[in-house]
């Protein structure tokens, strides 16, 4: 007929008559489906990026409470407000934002109060310090060093907050996922650092950190 005359190849006849069979999937396609999921470079980069704020958080905590050993508790609490000052400057330098006049007024007031508290603790000591029954006072050993460690720790905390905000906007990561990633890296850092601190001894012969003893003390607490 006319249709058969127009068709020149057997494959076209098969196509028109519906006798074309589907080709079986190749072995390569089956192998690809059987391979395990491999995260992409962008995914791994997002996961690794949140190691930086986790490390800043861990270092800030260490510096804060090490500074508390050398200075007064009241000075420690007052100097923690310097994080607002650091966050303000880092917001301008790293995020490119502008602060309004009321922001600068608050930053200047916090800076003035922090300087007064730090200078008072170094020059005059802490007026709220406890005095024992024999007349001896529990004074801080190195108040200037303690104040410097607290301020430096707050700088690291401010870096953590600015980096978090930058990464949340850059990688489009949900806030809850970002918290989980930082906790994951913080757990890894603890597994690495705590065994090292358990082997390093202080001048009194005791380790800097004893994790088994800490768990034993927790279990001894009456409920």
* Structure confidence at residue 15 (pLDDT): 47
In a domain, 212, yes or no: no
In a domain, 57, yes or no: yes
Q: What is the mean pLDDT of the chain?
A: 78
In a domain, 28, yes or no: no
- What's the pLDDT tens digit per position in 50-102? 999 999 999 999 899 888 888 888 888 888 889 999 999 998 888 888 889 99
In a domain, 165, yes or no: yes
CB atoms within 10 A of CB 163: 17
Is residue 133 predicted with pLDDT exceeding 70? no
CA–CA distance, 140 with 148 (Å, rounded to integer): 14
Structure tokens belonging to residue 192: 């690495």
In a domain, 164, yes or no: yes
In a domain, 60, yes or no: yes
Greater pLDDT, 65 or 5? 65
In a domain, 216, yes or no: no
In a domain, 70, yes or no: yes
Is residue 45 predicted with pLDDT exceeding 80? yes
Domain assignment of residue 77, given as a range: 48-127+139-181
CA atoms within 13 A on the CB side of 99: 19
Number of domains in the chain: 1
CA–CA distance, 4 with 109 (Å, rounded to integer): 94
* Structure confidence at residue 215 (pLDDT): 83
* Structure confidence at residue 194 (pLDDT): 85
Greater pLDDT, 33 or 165? 165
* Structure confidence at residue 150 (pLDDT): 92
Mean pLDDT of 175-198: 89
> Are the C-beta atoms of residues 131 and 137 closer than 8 Å to each other?
yes
Confidence of residue 157 (pLDDT cuts 50, 70, 90): very high
pLDDT cut 90: percent of the chain above it: 20
Mean pLDDT of 151-167: 93
């Amino acid at each position: 007929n006319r249709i058969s005359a127009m068709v020149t190849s057997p494959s076209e006849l098969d196509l028109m008559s519906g006798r074309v069979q589907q080709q079986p999937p190749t072995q390569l396609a089956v192998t690809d489906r059987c391979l395990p999921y491999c995260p992409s470079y962008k995914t791994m980069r997002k996961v690794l990026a949140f190691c930086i704020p986790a490390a800043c958080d861990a270092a800030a905590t260490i510096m804060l409470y090490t500074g508390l050993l050398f200075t007064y508790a009241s000075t420690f609490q007052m100097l923690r407000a310097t994080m607002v000052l650091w966050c303000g400057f880092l917001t301008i330098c790293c995020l490119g934002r502008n602060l309004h006049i009321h922001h600068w007024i608050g930053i200047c007031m916090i800076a003035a109060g922090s300087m007064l508290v730090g200078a008072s603790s170094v020059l005059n000591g802490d007026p709220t310090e406890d005095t024992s029954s024999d007349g001896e006072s529990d004074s801080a050993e190195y108040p200037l060093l303690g104040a410097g460690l607290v301020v430096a720790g707050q700088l690291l905390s401010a870096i953590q907050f600015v980096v978090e905000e930058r990464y949340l906007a850059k990688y489009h990561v949900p806030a809850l996922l970002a918290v989980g990633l930082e906790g994951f890296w913080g757990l890894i850092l603890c597994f690495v650092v705590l065994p090292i601190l358990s082997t390093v001894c202080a001048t009194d012969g005791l380790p800097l950190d004893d994790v088994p003893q800490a768990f034993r003390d927790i279990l001894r607490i009456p409920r």
